[in-house]
Amino acid sequence: MAKPASRQPRRKGAAPAAGPRRASVAPLLLSIAVGLMVVFSFATVLLLIFGMLPTIVAFIIDRTPSKYSAYCVGGMNVSGVFPYVLELWNTGNNFAVAKHILTDVFALAVMYGASGFGWMVYLAVPPVVGAFLTVMAQRRVALLRTTQRNLIEEWGEDVANPMSELRRK
């Protein structure tokens, strides 16, 4: 037999029991992972933090829930940063190499240039897609109007105004 307390209805507006638990676990896990990485691979973390700055900025300034700009900039930014991360790991993964990379103008230009390209993609693609959709819609309207013209040609004007036919009857 269940205990009386367990039979009490959940309060209106209260979040499900699993919700807050999942929301609180992810940042915790992330914090633990970052903490472990700082402890065991400080140089990598440093490189990623400075290399991925455009992505972090994009994530912060994109107020939409889907965060497409962050994905767009982030994707390109990763492409720019990952070769240097690999170089860091291949050369001992120490702070000196990380400092060397971060002070190399060319390396910074590659990382930030890649993220800039990401921004350009993010800004250029939506208008192109919009224009494409408009053309498609216009083509559909033209097709429908042709269909209507054919119907009138085959069935007469009454097909466009059936009420006049009913009135005549």
Partner 1 sequence: MAEEAPVPLDDEVDEDEEEGRQPSQVGPRTPAVLFDRYHVNADAPLTGLDSPSARAYAVTDRRDPGRKLFALVCMPGLPTRTTVMSILKAEQPRGVLPLVEWGTVFWPPLGQACMAVVYERPAGGRLSEAFAQERINEFDVPRRIIEPVVQALHELSGRGVAHRAIRLNNLFFMDAGRQVLVLGDCVTAPPGFDQPLVYESLPRALAAAGGRGVGDMGDDTYALGVTVVSLLLGREPAARVGPDDLLVAKVEQGTYAALCGNERLPMSMIEPLRGLLHDDDNERWRLEQLDLWLSGRRMTPSGKRAVPRADTPMNFAGRNHLTARTLAWFLCRNVADGARVIRGGHVETWVRRSLNNADLADQIAEAVEAAEAHENDYMGSNDYLVTKIAILLDPRAPITYRGMSFMLEGFGAAVAVERLRRDDVQIPGEFIARGFATIWLDAQTGPKMGFANLERIFAQLRAYLQIQDPGYGIERCLYELNPSLPCQSPLVIRDYVIDLADLLPALDEAANRVDARTKPVDRHIAAFIAAHFSQDVDAHLKAAASDDEAESVIAMLSLLASLQLRYKTPGVLGLASWIGGLLGPAIGTYHNRATRREIEREIPRLVRQGGLTEMFDLIENTEKRRRDEHGFRTAVAEFAAADAEIQEVESGDVARSETGERQGQQAAAMTSVVIALIVVSVVIMVEIM
Residue type at 83 in one-letter notation: P
Interaction of residue 73 with partner 1, rule CB under 8 A: yes
Interaction of residue 130 with partner 1, rule CB under 8 A: yes
For the bound state, the minimum distance from the C-beta of residue 18 to partner 1, rounded and expressed in Å, comes to 29
Interaction of residue 109 with partner 1, rule CB under 8 A: no
Q: Are 126 and 138 in contact (CB under 8 A)?
A: no
Q: Are 84 and 138 in contact (CB under 8 A)?
A: no
Q: Which segments of 4-104 does DSSP mark as H helices, in order?
A: 18-40, 42-51, 53-61, 68-90, 95-102
Residue 109 CB neighbour total at 10 angstroms: 12
Of the residues 47, 88, 111, 118, which one makes contact with partner 1 according to CB under 8 A: 118
Of the residues 3, 6, 22, 154, which one makes contact with partner 1 according to CB under 8 A: 154
Closest to 99 in 3D by CA, of 110, 113, 88: 88
Which residues, 6+ apart, have CB-to-CB distance to 93 below 8 Å?
41, 43, 44
CB closer to partner 1, 104 vs 165: 165
**Residues of span 21-60 touching partner 1 by CB under 8 A:** none
Of the residues 43, 47, 48, 76, which one makes contact with partner 1 according to CB under 8 A: 76
Of the residues 52, 72, 98, 107, which one makes contact with partner 1 according to CB under 8 A: 72
* CA angle 44–50–56, rounded 5-degree value: 110
Of the residues 59, 68, 91, 108, which one makes contact with partner 1 according to CB under 8 A: 68
The residues of the shown chain that bind partner 1, judged by CB under 8 A, are 66, 68-69, 71-76, 78-79, 82-83, 86, 90, 118, 121-122, 124-134, 137, 140-141, 144-145, 147-148, 151-156, 158-160, 162, 165, 168
